[in-house]
Structure 1
Amino acid sequence: MGLIERIFGSIFGNGRNVIVETAQVFRENAEGAAVRQADIKQQSMRQFASEFAVQRHGGFNRFMDALNRLPRPLLAFGTIGLFVVAMADPVWFSTRMQGISLVPDPLWWLMGAIVSFYFGARHQAHSQDFQRSIAQTLARVPTVVENTRALRALRADTPQVAQSAPSADLTLGALAPTDNPALVDWQSSQR
């Protein structure tokens, strides 16, 4: 036992681990890397906190902060609103989209650059696809208008939707007896 203790003592003794120390030569210590990353993040957060530590007073600063918070919710709710309006009044929506289809491409590119710059996203490379999809949507407007008219004609409050005049086929169908197996079984059980 003395020999084995001396071998293990020389490798692992005095709080050392020769195997771990040797492995760290070839591979980074994950725990040490995590500690270094945490230190870097803490230093970055301290720097950011010091930038925002300045108290801004005054109505103009508060107004500008509020104004900077508006575009995202306005764009999000505006887009949802467009879907609601498209379903509620398709003709009104299609008329507005017809006007949008007249906007020239360079203006769409400028709008895309402004929006992408504001949100920090990439430049809108697919604005031409957007124009094409608007054109396809507008090409469907006559069909939508005709379908809307047909659906309005089917409303319950539209006069003469349900024909109340007697129909000879329906009257004869109701008066002519037909075989009803369930009725025949019931009648036979009643006798």
Structure 2
Amino acid sequence: MGVIERILGVIFGSGRNVVAETAEVFRINAEADAQRAHQMQSAALQQFGGEFRLTQRGWFDRFMDALNRVPRPAMALGTLGLFIAAMVDPVWFAARMAGIALVPEPLWWLLAAIVSFYFGARHQAKGQDFQRELAETMAAVPQVVRTVKNVESLRDVTPEPDAPEAQSNPALADWRAGR
């Protein structure tokens, strides 16, 4: 018992595990690897959290953000409301539309300009993004064409009949004969 205990004490004694330390040279310690991955993911999440943290903003900034979100839903819901009003009370709706008919033309132009600038700015930004993506795609076309030609050139790679490997390969000769 004493000899085996001394041998095991040499291998596993003094808080060390020689077998485990030797095995870690050839294979990654899964527990330590998982701990490193957890620490790396935690650090990345903290960095992202720091980058995207909203600063404390005043009441005016919050009010303006809320106000900027109102026009599109208000116009959509208002238009649906007009359709519902026309079906529920056609006389009331006709009276309101007659009033709108009295609005002078320059006021309609002003309203059209305001709505166009409001919605047009977003449309223009999206359109420019689309044009940029389209230009990047078109710039990649020559490389794609070259790649397709290279791949297509690999389609028929049968050796010539007078090549030495073709003469010494009976399976290839049988295939050619059947073709």
> What's the TM-score, normalizing by structure 1?
0.35
Q: Which has the higher helix share?
A: 2
Larger relative contact order (Cα-Cα within 8 Å, sequence gap ≥ 6): 1
> What's the TM-score, normalizing by structure 2?
0.37
